[in-house]
Every structure is written in structure tokens, then in C-alpha cells.
Amino acid sequence: MVNHYDAIVVGGGVIGSSVAYSLAKRGLNVIILEKERLASQASQAAAGMLAAQAEMTEAGPLFELSRKSRNMFPSLADELKEQSGIDIILTNKGMFKIAVTEQQVNEYKQMISFQREAGEQVEWYTGDELRDKEPALSKLVLGGLYLPNDGHVSAPELSLAFAKSAAKLGVTIQEYTEVFSFILENGRVKGVKTEQGELQSENVIVTTGAWSRRLLRETGIESSDYPVKGECFSVIFQKPILESTIFSHGCYLVPKEGGRLIVGATMKENTFDRKVTVDGIASLLDKAKRLLPNIVHAEWEKTWAGIRPQTADSIPYLGEHPEWQGLFIATGHYRNGILLSPITGEIIADLVEKKPYNDVDLTPFCVHRPLL
């Protein structure tokens, strides 16, 4: 059995699959080790929004990274379709970040300037203007930012497309294989230990999402990451009821193909319990009904939950371990792992190849930054 690889990716969510795909495109012999099934955790639960503008409230490194990653999607969609045959269903019909209180009206209007200074398109719509475009929205909507470039994809399809494309380029995918620890010698990583034995590599990339803390602690990093559970539900309308995505504080409505609407998502910190609760779905439905009263007539589809990987400063960890050469970390993507997956893959591949990554200053993302 082969047990030596150019790179070992630990964790098969959207981030691990994107990293493996980027490394394979550069000719590396890669294996993904996933403790359960590929993309069975947060990456399966995501609504798929590419909310580079709607999710960011200020200028800064995360805004820069998000915009760059969002811009990669049109060519990525074609590339993944060609490699894997999978359509990630990239939809570019814009997003409204809507306000339902006067305080939100003021807050959101103030965001216009930093977004325009960055060269992004953003327009303010009054409540009536908004309802002209989206007549199903209720009178409670006071106005909102129109973000024409914030689209969405199918998150499960994206993860699968990365993994299948990676496999086509020769990446080995091994499910039901948990990495317990690393082989660390003389200042560098030499491989990983699993229940099925050891695998060797001088490059190991940790993409274990919300489950990263224990593994990182073993390498001497006291990371600040913690889990944040999110619950969603979906309904089906006979005819599509919304054109654009509606993004509101505590509730978003993402119109998918065939009249399907995803409604998300709750936020519960410090739990790995993925059970969907009546309380979670009831509170979400209540918010959705206020925004979109006709949702009560839709057909119920299903509910689900996932665990987001959050960090103390809400910025992902992207970089090489400060003490163990060849050990790379890409986790903590919190609410934006789908959006940030393409750029994360490219950044990690550059770091593995020891190429300087100059597009964005990576200092704020480094794994040994001071904890809050």
C-alpha cells in the first residue's frame, strides 16, 4: 500500500477538497483523509451564498479576501464542470441586505462608502423601491443595500465538484479515516497517524473545520476556534417567489432552482450537537414569515444543521505552523467557507510550493497571531 504522498490533506470538507484540487493542479500527489464522509459536515449545510459584501461590515483583510474569492467563481464554475461534469449552479441575481429597523437603515447606509471605495457596486433602495423589485416582501422591510455581485452556488455540489475534480487529477480520497496526531521530527512534519496506520508526507494541511482545536493543541498552538451551530430549512414554491437573495439580520432567504427557497440560519455557540430543534426552526420561520408572509403557503421540504468553525476574531487561520515546517492550517472560515474556498485552495498551494502570495497580506490570518 502506498503510504507516502507529496501532501496529506486532513479533512474532506469544501476547504480540504479545494486545497487538494489546487495542489493536484500543480502536479502534487495528494491524499485527503476524512473521518466520516466527504463534505458531510458544515460544507453540506451551507446555503451557498457568496456574500462578499453582505456578510462584511467593514473594510479590511477579510473583505479583500472575500471579494477576490467571489470573483474566482465564474471561471471556477466552468473549470469544475469540465473536470467533474458537476454544475455548481452559480447564480448571479444579486442580494439585498435589508433593514427592518431605523438603526439598521443607518448602519447599512454607512457601509456604502467603504464598499464603493473598494470599487464595489452598491445601491440603497427604499422599502417601496425594494418591493417593486421583490413584490413578495412585506411592508416591514424599510429599505436595503442592493449588491448585484453577491450571488450563490449549491454548496453540496461545490464540495463534490472540488473533490471529484481532484480525484480526476489523481488525488486519493480516503473516507472513514480519522487523523489522531502528527509525526513531528526535527522542526518539520513527517506525516500523520491514523487508526489504519501511519502515512508519510513533508506537507500536511489541516482543514478539519470546527474540529481543529484538539489537533492544533497537540502541535503547540492554543487556537481560539470554537463551534457555532446553524440550523436551516427549505420550502418549495410552485413558482419562484424571489429573484434575488434576501439577507437580513438573523434570517436569510436564498432562492434556488425550481422554486426552492433555503431559509437560514440559527446561531448557537459552543455546541457540536447537530440535532435540529423545534425552537430553532420555529424562531427562523417566525422571522421568515415577517419578511415573506406568503411563505406559509409553500410546501415544506426539509430541515438540517451544521457546525461552523469560528475564531475569536472571526478571521480564518491560513498559514504555516510557526514551529513545524510543512504543517499548514486552513480553518476557521466561520460563515464564509463556501465563498472563501477557491482562494483558500490557491493560497495554501502557493505556500506549499514556497511561492510568495502577494495578492493579499496574509499577516492577519497567521496561525500564531495573539488571541483575543
- Distance CA(252)–CA(271), nearest Å, equals 22
Exactly one of 9, 23, 28, 49 binds ligand GLY (CB under 6 A); that residue is: 49
User: CB 372 → ligand FAD: shortest distance, Å?
Assistant: 19
Which x/- pattern, by CB under 6 A, does the window 327-346 give for ligand GLY? Answer: --------x-----------
- Distance CA(214)–CA(311), nearest Å, equals 14
- Distance CA(341)–CA(42), nearest Å, equals 13
Amino acid identity for residue 215 in this structure: L
Residue 41 interacts with which of ligand GLY, ligand FAD, none, CB < 5 to 8 Å by class: ligand FAD
Exactly one of 144, 156, 209, 326 binds ligand FAD (CB under 6 A); that residue is: 209
Among positions 305-344, residues that touch ligand FAD (CB under 6 A) are: 306, 308-309, 331, 333-339
Exactly one of 230, 255, 319, 345 binds ligand FAD (CB under 6 A); that residue is: 230
Q: Quote the crossing angle between the two packed helices 61-84 and 337-352, to the nearest 10°.
A: 90
Exactly one of 190, 229, 256, 308 binds ligand GLY (CB under 6 A); that residue is: 308
Residue 315 interacts with which of ligand FAD, ligand GLY, none, CB < 5 to 8 Å by class: none
Exactly one of 19, 31, 48, 99 binds ligand FAD (CB under 6 A); that residue is: 48
| Closer CB to ligand GLY, 190 or 335, in the complex | 335
Residue 33 interacts with which of ligand GLY, ligand FAD, none, CB < 5 to 8 Å by class: ligand FAD
| Closer CB to ligand GLY, 7 or 307, in the complex | 307
Cross-strand pairs, 356: none
Q: Is 265 in the site for ligand GLY (CB under 6 A)?
A: yes
- Distance CA(77)–CA(154), nearest Å, equals 11
| Closer CB to ligand FAD, 121 or 314, in the complex | 314
Exactly one of 144, 151, 156, 230 binds ligand GLY (CB under 6 A); that residue is: 230
- Distance CA(224)–CA(193), nearest Å, equals 24
Unique residue bearing C-alpha cell 453582505: 54
What percent helix, strand, coil does the chain show, rounded to 5? Answer: 35, 25, 40
In Å, what is the CA distance from 17 to each residue of 33, 221, 228, 270? 10, 24, 22, 25
| Closer CB to ligand FAD, 105 or 199, in the complex | 199
Exactly one of 7, 8, 9, 16 binds ligand FAD (CB under 6 A); that residue is: 16
- Distance CA(99)–CA(199), nearest Å, equals 52
Distance from the first to the final alpha carbon of the chain: 45
Q: What are phi and psi of 242, to 5 degrees?
A: -130, 150
Which x/- pattern, by CB under 6 A, does the window 71-110 give for ligand FAD? Answer: ----------------------------------------
Burial letters for 33-62: b for 16+ Cβ neighbours within 10 Å, e otherwise? bbbeebbbbbbbbbbbbbbbbbbbeeeeeb
Q: How far is CA 346 from the centre of its chain?
A: 15
Q: Is 264 in the site for ligand GLY (CB under 6 A)?
A: yes
User: CB 126 → ligand GLY: shortest distance, Å?
Assistant: 26
Q: Is 127 in the site for ligand FAD (CB under 6 A)?
A: no
- Distance CA(123)–CA(191), nearest Å, equals 50
Among positions 172-191, residues that touch ligand FAD (CB under 6 A) are: 178-179
| Closer CB to ligand FAD, 23 or 265, in the complex | 265
- Distance CA(73)–CA(92), nearest Å, equals 10
| Residues 6 or more apart whose Cβ sits within 8 Å of residue 363 | 369
Q: What are phi and psi of 338, to 5 degrees?
A: -70, -50
| Chain residues that interact with ligand GLY, rule: CB under 6 A | 47, 49, 230, 264-265, 308, 335
Contact positions vs ligand FAD (CB under 6 A): 10-16, 33-36, 40-43, 45-49, 178-179, 207-211, 215, 230, 232, 264-265, 306, 308-309, 331, 333-339
